[in-house]
Amino acid sequence: MEAINQIRVRLKRFINNKVNPSLFQPLKIVEEKGRYYLIFSDKRRPKNWLIAMSLDGVDFSVMETRPAWANFDRKQLSETTVPDLKVKGKPVIYRGERRIFLAPDDKKALIASPFPTAAGGAFNFPHGIVLLYFEKQVENGNAYYRAFMAEFDKRHPNTLVWKMDEPVWDSRNQWPNRLLTPLGAIKVKETIMMYWSVDNETIYSVSLAGFTYDPRRIKIRPLKLKKHANNPLLSPREENHWEAFTTLNPAAAYVGGKVHILYRAQGFDYISTVGYAASIDGVSIDRRLDYPIYGPTAVFEINKTGTVNPALMSAGGYGGCEDPRITILDGRLYMIYVAFDGWTNLRLAMTSIDLDDFLHERWNWAKPVLVSPPGVIDKSGCLLPEKVNNQYVFFHRIFPDILIDYVDDLNFDDKNWLKGQYRIRVRPKKWDSRKIGVGAPPLKTKAGWLLIYYGVDDRDTNKYHIGVMLLDLKNPAHVLHRTDEPILSPVEEYEMTGFKPGVVYPCGAVIVKNNLLVYYGAADSTVCVAQADLNQFIRDLTADKSPKLQPVQVREIDYG
């Protein structure tokens, strides 16, 4: 907080306490010879400039006199100069208010967008010019900004090398429904810092750390899932007691021309059952039943005690059928789920239904059987939708790893359980270092089995993230590719508000017309979906690392 106090005091001292400091409007941040300058204008006399200087980008001091270089007009406020770089003896300057140009040429747009686009900052990296730029959009009458990155050739600064399709930062995640003015960006050592005026009261600097790219693969885009604008797709309904508390962790299957979604539901008795919804396009709910299609019937999933073992609770559950995954195989739909009686260990159970009965909503489920051993907490189970070497393949999780079993048949009894023959391990010091588990049953592609999975980091155990692996078609225990970073993380309000904030938990995925749809529970409270173009997704997954930016912290400077 020291920097905040210093800038407030020095602003008041500079103006001799005769006017309100809020009359000075922040316009832009620039770098000049290793120093950083915040430029203000007097709202009453716009031609009057006030400039504050900093050596570290955080602690600014108001200057008594204007530097010699600071003789510019308002048009130059839309420009950003690449530090320490000249081409043919001239500085490299990018300009943008609606589209991005290389100054002084305003005819050839280097980056075009349907939204107003402003140049934020240009940075001299060893392998190219990296440009940070902002898109301004309006949602429900409120303006918000998204930050993107692009790279240009150093010798030919008007040649675009790559640009990111997904934003590296979205103001809605930080300041929803706030009045924002982008002031630009600077690079302090190796950290890019964006500056924003918020509600004309406070200047925030947002540090973007971890920016890396491989110059051999600079055209590769970041591997990400795009969250749907209609999220959440399903939320609790008070009128139905069995789903009045939470709706979460959805399984999914695409069959009969529609996506069938089987989701875990809880009422205020905290007993888990399975609800049903359907969608033709995968994102708009066309049908949702008012009753559960599956619930606890066996002794191993019925709570008769009226109490619960708090060490085993999942999403507040007191018992029932949790976190279903579904697979279609040999004319039947198999559902693997977590059976919980409220007190003993969480175990995996399996049931099935004739596919024709399922499609016609005749809920003739087979009697459930336990498939995991007693005395062991076993979760996140699913069945591969195809036999391998004439054997069924099960995936499941015993902390902290994913386990894989090959079995000759599906006849489980008191002596025949899953054993964990093969293992996919957590990775120390990565986003999935603490525990991992299968999200959706693997999807078959030409490149391999596409496995959506979840992971938890030892450094932040309160958050779940989603990643992806590609498994060998003939040997699903062999991992061909695995993402070094999550493809989806909890940042949206609906992911950070609910029974368990910070959880994104996938249980289903389908492919509809080359569109990959991943269904997940958000904050253990609602059902959501994210999507990607399958072909591009596979290409990016099998390529080397792509450009990345990770927003890590926000600092504020109060100038009022």
Alpha-carbon dihedral of residues 449, 402, 231, 249, nearest 10 degrees? 120
Q: Left if phi > 0, otherwise alpha if psi is -120 to 50, otherwise beta: which for 474? A: alpha
Give every CB contact of residue 46 below 8 A, 6+ residues apart in sequence.
74
Do 337 and 364 meet the contact criterion of CB atoms below 8 Å apart?
A: no
At 553, is the pLDDT very low, low, confident or very high (cuts 50, 70, 90)? very low
| Predicted local distance difference test score (pLDDT) of residue 376 | 94
Q: Write the burial class of residue 183 (CB in 10 Å: 0-12 exposed, 13-18 middle, 19+ buried).
A: buried
User: Cα–Cα distance between 312 and 270 in angstroms, integer?
Assistant: 13
Task: Of 366, 260, 249, 379, give the one whose Cα is nearest residue 315.
Answer: 249
* Amino acid (one-letter) located at 114: P
Q: Which residue has the tokens 């069995």?
A: 242
Q: What is the mean pLDDT of the chain?
A: 85
| Predicted local distance difference test score (pLDDT) of residue 70 | 64
Backbone angles phi, psi at 62, to 5 degrees: -70, 135
CA end-to-end distance (rounded Å), the chain: 15
User: Cα–Cα distance between 397 and 391 in angstroms, integer?
Assistant: 20
Do 329 and 385 meet the contact criterion of CB atoms below 8 Å apart?
A: yes
- Token reading at 341: 């009686």
8 half-sphere exposure, CB direction, 13 A CA radius: 12
> Three-state DSSP class for 173?
helix
Residue 364 in this model has a pLDDT that exceeds 70: yes
- Residue 356: its H or E element: helix 355-359
Task: Of 225, 205, 215, give the one whose Cα is nearest residue 165.
Answer: 225
At 209, is the pLDDT very low, low, confident or very high (cuts 50, 70, 90)? low
Domains (ranges, CATH) in the chain?
2-220+551-558 (2.115.10), 227-543 (2.115.10.20)
pLDDT tens across 211-221, in order?
A: 444 433 334 45
